[in-house]
Structure 1
Amino acid sequence: MDFNDDSSSNPCLKPGFQTPGANKRLRAADDNTTESQTRIIYQENLISNNKISHNQRQSIQQNDFPPITIEFKSMNNNNDRKLIQELIKEWETKNTKKLDVIGRYGFKNVLLIFARNITTLDELLDKDKWPTTINGAEYTIKFPKILPEAYSIVIKDFQITWNETEVTDDLREKYSSLIKLTRFVTRDGRSMNIVRADFNSSKQANYFIKQGEIDINYMKLYVRPYFAPIKVNKCRKCFKHDHFTSQCTSPPVCFRCGQQHSLEGGCNNDIKCANCEQQHFPGHPACPVVQQRRKQIAEQQKVNQAQLLIKQQQYQTRYNHDPNTFPHLMNNSNKAATNMCLNATISPSRTTTNQSYSAIAKSRSSGGNENIEQLMMALSSSINQQLSSFIASISIQITEVTKKMNANNDKLLNIENQIQESIIPAIIELSKIVDNISEHKDKIKAFQSIQTSSYTEFIQQFFKNDQPAKHQNTKFNQNRQVRNLTHTFLD
């Protein structure tokens, strides 16, 4: 029997309850998981730690646990029922205790063992309790990477200057079931003075929760239960978060790049979320779609809690009539007839009545206060839900308006660039052409006016110098002047 240390060295906590095994995409051998790279985001919880811890343990008892994988070193022809039967027998022989497990064959014919309760899971996680062989065959065990949240606690006042690895090594000398310490970080990546301690035994985690503190180098640090983030469902075909895999009608897409292509040869494309198209795998806690979905689930849980509180308040305010405690009132006709009987027994009956009434009034007053508190909590939860939905709708509207404003700004910038690059230079050229045309027209007019004036002066001077004799023939003189003038113009 061998143990695969790679499978259990860095287990991650169970982010929620297990999804059904039907319609799940088979994991290829080269698939990469990013569960160990997920950062922890600190979330405050307003409900009592003890109450949630009890409910948390009850919910874990009612749901499936992650499987333990058994891979045989040699070929095994037995069916899964026979192998599980032999495992239970050999376990009982070695540990004098019968296992409460179920199992089946999984991918590549590995045997998957599922614990039916958290006590059995604690025993299965103990390496020393496993038999050497199962049905005479050697095997290798792979413990789950994802453990329920009941196997972890939160340690407060863990200083930022402390190294988690060094403190883990120191604590393992005292608490051998400790696996690792993981520091909480804020959404902007800043480290916090809170860490999560993971154990391979729920008994050890419950012990620290009951104590309320843990001893680290003689320092008492407060602890509280760890509550995993809200589980967001994810389709195994299209990797959307609004439906189950069995309800999906879309074609399967690649987990890595979010595109539709053959998955046989793997994928070398860049990592791209199928929901938000950012550089991370689908379902990552930093995905805006996942964060929005978690907010919706949290709001729905608040609504359900408010409805339960209101129903509880309605049931508690119902009045149960008890005639012995509160007798019927008498009519005026028989009041006088019963005065003598009442006077005879007035002392003990009055004392008893006063005591019972005071006790009932006290209990009803205390119950009324509780009812008022519950009603206030329910109303506040309902108001918070309405405010959250209103804020979400306002945020969506603001986002849409911002998108439209950005689009309009881009259009205006494009128009401005076109005006600067094309329209203004064309207007300048047109103005130059118009100026040139106007200057040319002015020159032509000036030239024409100069020629006209010169011709007029010439004609006047000609007629003045070439004046004919009075006694000559007028018609002959006129003809001669015209001929001379014509020759002059032609010259």
Structure 2
Amino acid sequence: MSTSKVNRCYLLYCNTSVQFEYLLDKNKWPDKLCDCDYTFDLPRKIPSSYSVVMSNVPTQWDVQSFCDELKLQYKTIIKSERLYVRGGRPIPKIRIDFSSNKELSEILKNKHMLLDDCPTCYPIESYVPPPKVLRCYICQQYDDHVAAYCPNKDKPICFKCGQQHQYNPECQNEICCVHYKGDHMTGNPNCPKKIEIRDLKKLQTNPSSSKISYLSNRNIWTGNSVLHLFGDSATKPTLTKNNPNENVHSLKLLDTIHLNIQSILEQQAELNKHLSDLTLQQNDQAKEIINVNQILNDIVCP
């Protein structure tokens, strides 16, 4: 925010999400402050908790025009931007920033966004920012310390050539990464060393991913009914002769069967719902084709 008379700029900080949403609404700001005209600029970056990722947006589309159409349906959209992968290649996903956490929560609950009032919808998911990889600008080490606490201040490494000399932004030596010894500068997003550290941080921030993938693989049908219904406990030999816990073991197996049957029924119901939705979509498309044929036969080519 800046004023015109004294030409001063003010940077405002928020303590809560309520304050943040209130200040983002330009309609709630007065026309003047202390009889001074002022300008109000939105922050360049919105917290990731106010963002979603929309899929299936063709890379040929103009994101700004598409966002303007979405604003007709969702009033609290601030901006949107195309997402890219390594090498700067665009992908059919865009990030959309909102100013209202309430509307954002409803959208995430529905798991899709509509374009105007037409039946075209786009799947959405929460935006998860990529993990940041810190780099010391003195010794060029990754994720160990920052320049203010560098233990090698007397041995600086050039980020351009990877050699040991004082900082020189106009270094004329051959470009070489100090980590990978490749023909790129240290800190390049496509550096294999930086990619390796970023992938490692992803695993550290989500340590249960390997466990989840293991459990999801356990649900894949393998043709073994006993293993699928009872689990590993059914494959282990048990002594039933003179076993006082035989009834307890049988009850546990029955509970396991009951839980697995419920899970199968839920999956079947979800599959039936999905098939019903596909059938409705096919019927709608068939009606549109019939209408187009009628228009072609009656008007265009009578």
**TM-score normalised by length of structure 2:** 0.53
> Equivalent of 2:103, from 194, 197, 204?
204
Match of 1:232 in 2: 133
**Amino acid of the structure 1 residue aligned with 2:149:** Q
**Amino acid of the structure 2 residue aligned with 1:249:** P
Match of 2:193 in 1: 289
> Equivalent of 2:123, from 222, 230, 234?
222
Decide whether aligned partners of structure 1 residues 202 and 255 sit closer, same or farther in structure 2, where only a CA change above 3 A counts. farther
Would you say 1:116 and 2:15 are equivalent positions? yes
**Amino acid of the structure 1 residue aligned with 2:43:** P
**Amino acid of the structure 1 residue aligned with 2:190:** A
Q: CA deviation at 1:229?
A: 0.9
Decide whether aligned partners of structure 1 residues 279 and 182 sit closer, same or farther in structure 2, where only a CA change above 3 A counts. farther
Q: CA deviation at 1:214?
A: 0.9
Decide whether aligned partners of structure 1 residues 298 and 160 sit closer, same or farther in structure 2, where only a CA change above 3 A counts. closer
Q: CA deviation at 1:116?
A: 1.5
**Amino acid of the structure 1 residue aligned with 2:63:** E
Q: Contact 1:238–1:250 at 8 Å: present in 2 too?
A: yes
Measure the CA separation in 2 of the matches of 1:294 and 1:142: 33
Measure the CA separation in 2 of the matches of 1:126 and 1:279: 47
Decide whether aligned partners of structure 1 residues 144 and 221 sit closer, same or farther in structure 2, where only a CA change above 3 A counts. same
Measure the CA separation in 2 of the matches of 1:197 and 1:182: 7
SS of 2:11's equivalent? strand
Q: Contact 1:122–1:201 at 8 Å: present in 2 too?
A: yes
> Equivalent of 1:244, from 145, 160, 170?
145
**Amino acid of the structure 1 residue aligned with 2:122:** L
Measure the CA separation in 1 of the matches of 2:29 and 2:142: 39
Q: Contact 1:240–1:274 at 8 Å: present in 2 too?
A: no
Match of 1:260 in 2: 166
Measure the CA separation in 1 of the matches of 2:177 and 2:93: 33
Decide whether aligned partners of structure 1 residues 71 and 290 sit closer, same or farther in structure 2, where only a CA change above 3 A counts. farther
Measure the CA separation in 2 of the matches of 1:160 and 1:305: 30
In structure 2, runs of 5+ residues without a counterpart are 212-246, 261-302
Measure the CA separation in 1 of the matches of 2:41 and 2:73: 25
> Equivalent of 2:48, from 124, 145, 149?
149
Measure the CA separation in 1 of the matches of 2:5 and 2:13: 22
Q: CA deviation at 1:112?
A: 3.1
SS of 1:112's equivalent? coil
After TM superposition, list the pairs within 5 Å mapping 1:262-277 onto structure 2. 267=169
Would you say 1:125 and 2:19 are equivalent positions? no
Q: Contact 1:240–1:275 at 8 Å: present in 2 too?
A: no
Question: What's the CA shift string for 1:100-126, capped at 9, x where partnerless?
Answer: xxxxxxxxx954322122222122222
SS of 2:65's equivalent? helix
Q: CA deviation at 1:210?
A: 1.5
Match of 2:284 in 1: none
**Amino acid of the structure 1 residue aligned with 2:166:** Q
Q: CA deviation at 1:223?
A: 1.4
**TM-score normalised by length of structure 1:** 0.35
Decide whether aligned partners of structure 1 residues 192 and 75 sit closer, same or farther in structure 2, where only a CA change above 3 A counts. closer
**Amino acid of the structure 2 residue aligned with 1:121:** F
Question: What's the CA shift string for 1:122-155, capped at 9, x where partnerless?
Answer: 2222222234455565554443322221222122
RMSD value, Cα:
4.4
Decide whether aligned partners of structure 1 residues 124 and 193 sit closer, same or farther in structure 2, where only a CA change above 3 A counts. same
Q: Contact 2:177–2:184 at 8 Å: present in 1 too?
A: no
Query: Higher RCO, 1 or 2 (CA under 8 Å, sep at least 6)?
Result: 1
Structure having the larger proportion of residues in helix: 1
> Which of the pair has more CA radius of gyration?
1
Would you say 1:177 and 2:76 are equivalent positions? yes
